[in-house]
Chains A and B, each alone.
Chain A
Amino acid sequence: LAANRTYSFKVVLLGEGCVGKTSLVLRYCENKFNDKHITTLQASFLTKKLNITGKRVNLAIWDTAGQERFHALGPIYYRDSNGAVLVYDVTDEDSFQKVKNWVKELRKMLGNDICLCIVGNKIDLDKDRHVSVEDAESYAESVGAKHYHTSAKLNKGIEELFLDLCKRMMETAQAEERAKGNGASQSAATRRGVQIVDDEPQATPAGGCCSSG
């Protein structure tokens, strides 16, 4: 039975304006890159299906707006999330400080239930780097997050980031399930978006991490 499960996870992208949140998610969900996309207002919703060691995973992703004025809307998108991708621009020190603020807020509001990823984007501009690799990685470790480097432009590190996040979210979900005991897991798990549904006939999803790699 275990192999036939479908996991549904909610993931939120947060970070300062113009660090590349939309580019990351468009690269991941659509394998597209265009440096001429439009400013995200409020948030955009995207989905991605993948297959990890025979288990289907449905991701529901909220790509949020970066401007401070929309900060108050944050909880609408991050509450009930299983994972958060906190993005900064490696050439912009301020955007890394913004990530730290988000970490504080998420830990305060959601505790340790949420898997955090800290992502230094735009490594194609590494020659202009303003955030050191050591600082970023040691900070991530200190707050129980994992650190990644990506380039949406060169399509580097993005599959790995989301695959890793999915595996962590699956482990968390399985641990939660074990803790609750069989059958009793429904209420707590579904509230947070973890749904385990019966198998249904379905073609192998294209673009999943296993089929693409």
Chain B
Amino acid sequence: MLQFWKNSKIVSLHKRPLWFHSSLSVLSPTEVGGGSWAFCFSSAVRSSLQKQQSLPVRPIIPLVARISDQNASGAPPMTVREKNRLDKFKQLLASPNTDLEELRKHSWSGIPREVRPITWRLLSGYLPANKERRELVLRRKREEYFGFIEQYYHSRTDEHFKDTYRQIHIDIPRTNPLIPLFQQPAVQEVFERILFIWAIRHPASGYVQGINDLVTPFFVVFLSEFVKEHVENFDVAMLPLDTQRNIEADSFWCMSKLLDGIQDNYTFAQPGIQNKVKALEELVSRIDVDIHNHFKKYEVEYLQFAFRWMNNLLMRELPLRCTIRLWDTYQAEAEGFSHFHLYVCAAFLIEWRKEILSMVDFQGLLMLLQNLPTIHWGNEEVGLLLAEAYRLKYMFADAPSHYKR
């Protein structure tokens, strides 16, 4: 069975578009989605970059691309298949009682941009399936959130909370620093309020660096509902105040739902992360013993690179548009963020098998692992990654004897 899996993996590698291998060409700051790219490269990675500088530049892919935008230059018109998919979503969403199971099934392979905001609200459990009740629930929840702000936000200067607020305040300008949208004062204030309110309502974890990144996809997706073109340069102050407030409240609630499922990632000593990194090591030792032994040989510890993969749900490793696509699936999976993510991390690691095995020292391996070249990734790569993750989960999740030594 393992052999079968390995063979299929080879096939999928061959299907990779040609540009993939030459995609490390010129980088402009606006292309740096996840942020990790801004970091240093080993001289090996650098020289391979320089070698490829003369290759044609790929067009910049928007943060929240239409399904058809990604992996293609320009924006070709929607295909018949995509149109059918969108119609199916619209039909499900218009029904008096949306069939959430059916919605999950369709969302697994990606949600069309047009219906993503409402679909995310439904899948996260923020909006009820019953169509009639939605408007009332939305109004109440939004009021409730602004009630919290009124009640608690002034306490950010209190002795008891000032450290929490300080940490959030210094992290906000350092969240997605290369995307102009997030440098707008109005946007930074939204993030501060969301994070502060969440932190003081969850004292067991409080605010932990990394949680700031998790607001971003929700904010961008809910904002995209009101922005025709590229959201990365959109001036949020142009929107009516009510709209701005609704985006903020919805981002808060959906982020809260997400964090409910992974709070042990952020409590004292971060047991959720420790356990998942251990599980990743176990899993990799089963599915790719070459990589596992290679790490052992050069004394690379999984915690040294995979802690961040868990703490930030791979957001620092992937462009934001890919995270958004990934979260379509995470929200469609029963325990997407808390459990399926482990298999995605394993698939992600093995994606770089060739590059990993070609590095023959600790330094090279660490430099590679913290700067994986995903800058031009789009739906196609994420789709392949998810398919691999699904296969791994299928093989190992219900087979503890496969999974454990």
Contact = CB atoms under 8 A, between A and B. Distances in A.
A8 to B, nearest CB: 9
Contact of A41 (B167, B312, B366): B312
Contact of A47 (B170, B308, B367): B367
A10 to B, nearest CB: 10
Contact of B175 (A39, A46, A65): A39
Interface string B267-287: 011100000000000000000
B303 A72 contact: no
Contacts of B366: 45
A30 B208 CA distance: 29
B301 interface: yes
Nearest to B310: A42
A69 B268 CA distance: 7
A38 interface: yes
Contacts of A47: 42, 363, 367
A18 B36 CA distance: 17
User: Which of the four size classes fits the interface of chain B?
Assistant: 35 or more
Contacts of B316: 38, 41
A53 to B, nearest CB: 23
A108 interface: no
B49 to A, nearest CB: 14
B177 A36 contact: yes
Interface residues of A, number: 25
Nearest to B37: A38
A38 B307 contact: no
B209 A69 contact: yes
A41 B40 contact: no
A144 to B, nearest CB: 29
Interface in B22-49: 35-36, 38-40, 42
A37 interface: yes
Contacts of A76: 301, 303-304
A165 B26 CA distance: 36
Contacts of A65: 209
A131 interface: no
A211 interface: no
A71 B174 CA distance: 20
Nearest to B269: A72
A67 B167 contact: yes
Given A42-B308, A42-B311, A47-B363, A37 B38 contact: yes
9 contacts: A17-B167, A17-B170, A30-B40, A38-B35, A38-B176, A44-B40, A47-B42, A69-B208, A69-B209
Given A17-B170, A47-B42, 19 more contacts: A18-B174, A36-B174, A38-B36, A38-B174, A38-B177, A39-B175, A41-B307, A42-B307, A42-B308, A42-B311, A45-B304, A45-B367, A60-B363, A67-B167, A67-B208, A69-B268, A69-B270, A70-B209, A72-B269
Interface of A: 17-18, 26, 29-30, 34, 36-39, 41-47, 60, 65, 67, 69-70, 72-73, 76
